[in-house]
A and B are shown apart, each in its own frame.
Chain A
């Protein structure tokens, strides 16, 4: 079946531009996560949805970052007024049931480069 998809796969933005990154989770998956991987680092948690409810946004680095999942399926991560330090791979993951010992299924990521 189809896995988690993300678009665009690559995005180049000029400093100060707004960007929107899309995640299509596996159909029926309840939980959806966003992670940010900077160069040389492991992925770091940004935010988490259970259906349409954003239950944890403690990892969002600033108020320029905003995520939504209005109908409990597709999610968008928006970054306003991009800065060079926002350059990273943004990973989306989904999982079916609620439960911390279940696998998270990852998309291929969006590589954002801010120039």
Chain B
């Protein structure tokens, strides 16, 4: 059974704080790692897709890194804003399978003004 773990489960920060969360996945069977941002009552929005060990991607104040050898990815948010409040999901795509994604339970971020 493929297991994707995300931590922490939830996080409350103040506006302006920088923060990061972790996604752990099986390192022996890796093909791709996806990060999504999901605001309440909206569609999950793709942030990053990463495939190579050592990948670093950035979109505005949000960035992500990937370590496929040890099976983890970090998502960083610099200078959090209230509009960053959302659930951040990571999803793992294993080798040898179909295109289906295996999701973690997500990290719920609340940014207080």
- Interface residues, chain A, with chain B CB atoms under 8 Å away: 3-4, 31, 33, 35, 40-45, 48, 55-56, 59, 91, 95, 98-109
CB contacts between A and B, total, < 8 Å: 66
- In-complex Cβ contact of A42 among B46, B49, B100, B103 (8 A): B103
B residues bordering A, Cβ < 8 Å? 4, 6, 31-32, 34, 36, 41-46, 49, 51, 89, 91, 93, 98-106
5 nearest A-B pairs in the assembled complex, by CB-CB distance: A42-B103, A103-B46, A45-B100, A106-B44, A101-B32
User: How distant is the Cα of A31 from the Cα of B34 in the complex, in angstroms?
Assistant: 17
Contacts of A91 in B (CB 8 A): 44
Q: How far is the CB of A11 from chain B (nearest CB, A)?
A: 15
Give the chain B neighbours of A40 by CB distance below 8 A. Answer: 105
Question: A56 CA to B103 CA in the complex, in Å?
Answer: 17
